Structures are given as C-alpha cells and as structure tokens.
Amino acid sequence: MFSAHTIGLNSLISDPISVVSSPSQLTDMLPRHEFTVLIPAQNEETSIGSKVLIAASYADRVLVLDKGSTDRTMEVAALGGARVIPVSGEEEALLNVLYKASLDSELVVLIYPECMQDIDLLSHVLEPLRQGFDLSVGSWPCRISYEQETIMLFNGKSTFKEKIGFLAITSNSLQKISSGKERPSFKSLLSAAKVGGLKVNYLSFDVDPMFRKLESTRIGVVVPAYNEELLIGETLNGIPEYVDRIYVIDDGSTDRTGEVVQKFVDPRIVYLRHEVNKGVGAGIISGYKLALKDEIDIVAVMAGDNQMDPVQLPRLIFPIIEGKADYTKGNRLLTDDFMTGMSRWRSFGNLLLSFITKIGSGYWQIMDPQNGYTAISKQALETIDLDSIYPYYGYCNDLLIKLNAFGMRVLDVVMPARYGREKSTIRYGKYIRKVGPMIFRGFLWRLRVKYTVLDFHPLVLFYFLGMLALPLSVLLGMWGALQTLLQNPLPSYYPLLGFLVLGTGLQMLLFGMLFDMQVEKKKNERIGLAR
C-alpha cells in the first residue's frame, strides 16, 4: 500500500513542481506523448489554482471541467493557464470529455474530485504507465463522520469506502475498449479494460489528505512501562514515523526494561526512570509534563505492553487536529466482536466501571473508561492540574472527571481489543473497591467546581437531596426490620414512609442526572458551533 509518508520512487521524485517543469522533462519519464489532465471542479476557488499549477508541471494541457461553480473557481483556473469547459451531469459527462480528449492526446489523466484532494500523488499513478501499463487507477478511501462510523462498526460493516481518485490511460487503449457497439460506462471502464486485454495497474492509497496535517502538528507518545523487557521493543518499533517525540517512562522496573530502551537508536526517544514504582498514572503524568516542556501539540498514550495497535493512532489524533475533541480514548465495548480476547469477568468489570464513571465524570456518552489508549491536546493538559491526578490505574477515571469540570470535549473512538503475550495484573473486584470511592470523591469535587464555583446550576440540589434521601430510606428500612424482629409495633404509615423517601431519593438523583446530561449536550453544541 502507498502512503503519503512512505512513498519513494527513484524514477519519479515526490516534488513534481521542482522536478518536472517542462514537457521535455516529462518525456524522460513517459514516451513522447501530448499529455492532457482533466480536473472536474465545483466551488474550489481556494484550491483550484494550486491543482492547476501542479498538473501543468506534468501536462501539456490542463482542462478544468466546471460542474456548476457559483464562485470564482473557473476564473482562478483560467488565470492559472487551464482551459475551462462546462459540463452537465455527472459520470457520463466526465466520460464524454475523457473520450474527446483522447482523440487529440496520447495520454489522458482524469483527477476525480470527490475523494482525491492531494494532486501531488499524481506521480505515483503515472509511474506504471512508464513501465508499460495501459491503464493506471489510484483509489482513495472516503472519510465519513464519526457518528456514521460508530453505527457502521456496530453493524459489522467497513467504515472505509474507496472511490477513484486518479485514472490515467493511453489514447490507444481508450480507443480500443470504446470501439465496440456500446461505449462502456465509467463504472464498467475497468472491467472493459480487463476484457480487452489491457494491462491495468491499481493503486490503493491507504491514507487521506488529512494525513498531510500530521506533518505540521507536533505529536508525542507517552509509553509507561513497568517490567516490560519482553514487549517494550515491539511497542517502540511500532510507533509511526510521524510521531515527533516518544517519552518512555520506566516506573521502577526491576527487569531489563530500561536497558532495552536505552539500546534503541532513535533520536525521538526520551527516557525517564522512576527509582521507585509510583503507579501507571504517575508515569503518564511524568510523560505529559515532559511533552508540555517540549511544546507538543497532541500527546497520545501507548502502553509498553504492545497492547495498543499503532494503526488506530491516527483515529485518536485526527478528531483533535480537526477541532472536534480535546481528549480522545479507545472504546472496545461496542460489540462482542470488539471484545474478542477479553474475559467475561473483565468485560463485566469494564461495563460496571463505565456506568460508575458516566455518573462521576458527567461524560454520559463514553464507554470503556479503563481503555488507556488515549490522545489529549496541549490546551487540555495546560488547563488541568496534573499533580492532582490519581497516580494508579484509576488515573483515567480521575482524568475524565477533571476534564469535564473544565469543559473539555471527550470523544470515544471505537476500536477492537488487542491482546497478545501481555498479562493483565488488574483484579477487578479489588480494583472497583479501591477506585469506586475515588470516583465518588471526584464526583463531589466536580459538582462543587463546575456547578457552584465556575457556574451555578440547581442540579447540585437534586443530587444533594437524592444522596440524603437514599441513605435515609435504607436506615428507615433497617430500623423497621429490626423492630419487626423485636416484635415492637410500628405505625401503619411506616412502610409507606420508607417507600416515599426511597422514591423521592431516586427521583432526585434521576433529575440530577438528566440535568447533567443536558448541560453536557448543550456545551458540546455550543462549542461545536463556536469552533
């Protein structure tokens, strides 16, 4: 698969503007053809100029096909030296122009507009023609919304749809497959080429134009590690090249973890050792502090046990780059398929912690709070008090509470679980007993800071009354049961009183939760519109 970061061809250099500046230079790559590039466009005033200039560095002629623009797209294209041709319809109109252009051109290239934005990859589509192919097609995965992606994954469907981005074909080849009684449609062009015996080369670009933004974003990865000498090497080897800094925090390991890390010849690695084991949360916080000193824009966390798939990292980073989130985290609990490899007890523990954390943090849409595969913006790190974060495994729950109190947007990124040779040391019974009280304290802190200090909302009263009424109903029930055992008479209204207090307490808590959900929803809508 080709990648915008890894493609490198000896015969075609990736900077076409500086390398291919005239038709005479083009003939060194391809036979001596008159070369036409077609660019369909509609309302692309800001980008059409650069596309035309880059295309002109390859071709003798650039045709911009106007699909009904209402801005200055065609004026800019003409100023760039392109010939503007109005077209009506969609696929059929593009195909007609393609056939007409082939009548006076030896080579025709169509740059399909819907999915392909990176015209710079044109060189990789042309290379196969230099090697003797008749037709070369480059496809592109179309981006979809995060909401649609979640629905598709839940239904077991692929979230990536490939459409043609580039199509390059020699004139003789196009005339050959269109010489029959019926000219093939655009969709059947590839099939007709194969039936006609043409040599077809298919390129699938596995990244989209957003990956270009990685080059202008400083990205760091924190790797907390404790006794991971067997897996830390695999983890570091898998971290992508676009990551600028790798902060390995050795949390007092007693094995060769530090030795393995320090043997790596990678200038991106920053190694820090805790002399005593402080907990995974403390290790991550140490990494966050180092990233802030280096002015890293986005910081991800990938544990040293190689449990976090590097392929999923861009899906955590892009929502932050696009301004849709301040903090992203993995979610393995969407479907049973995604929980493959997770024990039933571990799944139950995660679901229970998810419910508790929803209430404690105020992020009612999140699941799988224990998922440590996360990414966070520099702004979010600068806002929260890092020294106050819980230092052990409950750090992720505590961090969500802190983020919500200060109005940060959190987004779940659905992804499958990945388990290998690592062994989890979490014991969920003990873990919940330890983390549960911490979440409750954090919940009370969040209500105080968010709804009384920074702002005021009456939902705190509902929560307060509910937390008083429920324990009171329990005490009333215990007292009534005790009096019954002692055969002491109780007033006839006593059972009704207990149920009334219990119902009132539940109602108050539900009202508090409802108002909490509404505040979070309105905040997301307001920030989403503002940004």
Q: What are the pLDDT digits (tens) for 310-367?
A: 888 988 998 898 888 999 999 887 766 655 656 677 777 778 888 899 999 999 988 8
The beta-strand segments (E) located in 135-205 are: 135-142, 161-170, 200-204
More confident of the two residues 139 and 11: 139
Q: What is the chain's length?
A: 531
Which of 87-96, 162-171, 250-259, 377-386 comes out lowest in average pLDDT?
Answer: 87-96
- Rounded distance, CA 115 to CA 318, Å? 17
Longest dimension (CA), the chain: 108
Mean pLDDT across 267-282: 94
Which of 22-36, 313-327, 445-459, 487-501 comes out lowest in average pLDDT?
Answer: 22-36
More confident of the two residues 11 and 49: 49
pLDDT of residue 31: 40
Phi-psi region of 197 (alpha: psi -120 to 50; beta: other; left: phi over 0): left
Gap between the terminal Cα atoms of the chain: 35
- Rounded distance, CA 57 to CA 109, Å? 13
- Rounded distance, CA 183 to CA 194, Å? 15
Mean pLDDT across 67-79: 89
At CA 250, angle to CA 246 and CA 253, rounded to 5?
Answer: 150
- The confidence band for 95, taking pLDDT boundaries of 50, 70 and 90, is confident
pLDDT of residue 298: 96
Cβ atoms of 498 and 479 closer than 8 Å: no
More confident of the two residues 300 and 433: 300
Please name the residue ranges forming H helices in 362-416: 378-383, 395-405
- Rounded distance, CA 494 to CA 281, Å? 49
pLDDT of residue 530: 44
Please name the residue ranges forming H helices in 120-188: 122-130, 146-154, 171-177
pLDDT digits (tens, 9 = 90+) for 204-260: 665 555 566 676 789 999 999 999 999 999 999 989 888 999 999 999 999 999 999
Average pLDDT across the chain, whole number: 81
pLDDT of residue 340: 60
